Structure 1
Amino acid sequence: MKKFGLVGGLGPISTLEYYKSIHDLYREKVETTGVCASNPPMVIDSLDLAVAYDLVSRKDWNTLSKWLIASIERLHGAGAEFAAIAANTAHIVFDEIQAGSPIPVIGIVDETCKYAHAKGLKKLIVFGTGFTMESGMYEKACAKVGIEAIVPNKEDQVIIHNIIFPNLEAGIVLAEEKAAMLGIANKMLAAHQADALVLGCTELPLIIKEGDLDTVLIDTTQVHIEAILRKILS
């Protein structure tokens, strides 16, 4: 059993999902022997989303990576043996984070691409923040396992980004914004004959759910959580 450290707050709603789902999955796999169910060993360092947004907006990658590494160092100081960051966009500087982290870090992008490869998927549409979609990180990571990742055009990227911020990050889902998001997804799935849609932002599952689209949905949050749990139990 390994103690896990989560870099949270990016944003708060997805951090709650990580905490709850890790506990729920853990309790499914670990037999309860007493009156109370057991909890997995973990610690959370919650960061300020406004700081992260500012750093990413200014493309201050050096400060961003140092800020995230400092969070992991605090987790390590609290006993964490490995860590993960509860956000997709922060993984733009994942290589720098891995290089500077005192403990192993499980990456959401790599785990998602490995998951898609294991499922035999060959072509993915990727939604996320504008920062994530323009970064090329999913295209690069998926190419390593023989998968093509495709992001929306610039106009649609702006629409998706402006739905995520500020509403989705605050847990607000509007019917007209959901319709716009699904419209872009259906258009791209048809145009590219893609195998799946990647929900490449940890808040996107709030607005796109199973049954909304006639395709496979890859919830990067859940893929990441399952990889984290495997490591906890290893």
Structure 2
Amino acid sequence: MKTIGLLGGMSWESTSLYYQQMNQLVQRRLGGLHSAQIVMVSVDFAQISQWQQQGDWQQAGQYLAEQAQYLQRAGADCIILCTNTMHKVADEIVAAIDIPFIHIADATAQVIHKQEISKVGLLGTAFTMQQDFYTGRLKQQGIEVMVPDLAAQEIVHQVIFNELCKGQIRAESKQQYIEIVESLIRDGAQGIIFGCTEICMLIGDVQFSVPIFDTTTTHAQAAVEFALA
């Protein structure tokens, strides 16, 4: 079994889901007392969030690249960046390491293609929904991406940072998210990407009329597939 390197803490709430799901997947695959071989760096999200708000992606990229190098020295055979938004600096991380980097958008695209879907709605932080680093990577793989209108984007973004990243689950926010997803479906989305690793905490138990692509689960599965290949 190969060792998975988790670059997490963004937020720690969703990183804990990665750790849990990876171990569950390995145990189901191998049985007995098997669990995943993992090394992890968990950063202080307050600093990352500050760089995001300042638009200082260069500093954030340099810092996360250094943390990825630390994971490589610790024995990781691949790197998993446990956040959608910070894949904006994926190129900086890839350039700094000599082991595979499993990109969350690529893992998601593979699952979408298996469903024979070409048009999806995306929920995530404002950075993920508005900038090209994520939607553009999906479009390069033949997937059309829809995002909510600006007012809905603001709701999605604020709930992520002010509630989900702090472990807060509110019924009012859940209903708002459901309405936003259903609006995307009415507008033609054939599937919905939970493009922030915390979103599954809020509406992961909701049954929608189209397939849901939970990036946390998809990314964890891709890592385990690599580790057990």
Which residues of structure 2 form unaligned runs of 5+? none
Question: Which whole-Å CA distance do the structure 2 matches of 1:221 and 1:113 have between them?
Answer: 13
Q: Within 5 A, what are the aligned runs for 1:11-50?
A: 11-32=11-32, 37-50=33-46
Question: Which whole-Å CA distance do the structure 2 matches of 1:63 and 1:129 have between them?
Answer: 19
Q: Is the 8 A contact 1:65 1:97 kept in 2?
A: yes
Q: Is the 8 A contact 1:126 1:149 kept in 2?
A: yes
Question: Which whole-Å CA distance do the structure 1 matches of 2:206 and 2:183 have between them?
Answer: 17
Which residues of structure 1 form unaligned runs of 5+? none
Tell me the C-alpha RMSD between the 2 structures.
1.3
Q: Within 5 A, what are the aligned runs for 1:92-131?
A: 92-131=88-127
CA 206–173 in structure 1, closer or farther in 2 if over 3 Å, else same: same
Q: Is the 8 A contact 2:196 2:215 kept in 1?
A: yes
1:200 and 2:169 correspond: no
Q: What is the match of residue 150 of structure 2? A: 154
Q: Is the 8 A contact 1:210 1:217 kept in 2?
A: no
What is the TM-score with the length of structure 2 in the denominator?
Answer: 0.96
Question: Which whole-Å CA distance do the structure 1 matches of 2:56 and 2:191 have between them?
Answer: 32
Question: Which whole-Å CA distance do the structure 1 matches of 2:219 and 2:86 have between them?
Answer: 14
Question: Which whole-Å CA distance do the structure 2 matches of 1:38 and 1:194 have between them?
Answer: 39
Query: Residue type matched to 2:189 in 1?
Result: A
Question: Which whole-Å CA distance do the structure 2 matches of 1:74 and 1:46 have between them?
Answer: 12
- Between the aligned residues of both structures, percent identity stands at 31
Q: Is the 8 A contact 2:69 2:96 kept in 1?
A: no
CA 210–123 in structure 1, closer or farther in 2 if over 3 Å, else same: farther
Question: Which whole-Å CA distance do the structure 1 matches of 2:9 and 2:37 have between them?
Answer: 19
| Deviation (angstroms), 1:168 | 0.7
For residues 62-98 of structure 1, the C-alpha deviation after alignment (integer angstroms, 9 at most, x for no partner) is 1111111111111111111111111111101112221
1:166 and 2:127 correspond: no
Q: What is the match of residue 62 of structure 1? A: 58
What is the TM-score with the length of structure 1 in the denominator?
Answer: 0.94
Q: Is the 8 A contact 2:88 2:134 kept in 1?
A: no
For residues 38-67 of structure 1, the C-alpha deviation after alignment (integer angstroms, 9 at most, x for no partner) is 222211101011111111111111111111
Q: Is the 8 A contact 1:138 1:149 kept in 2?
A: no
1:3 and 2:3 correspond: yes
SS in 1 for 2:120: strand
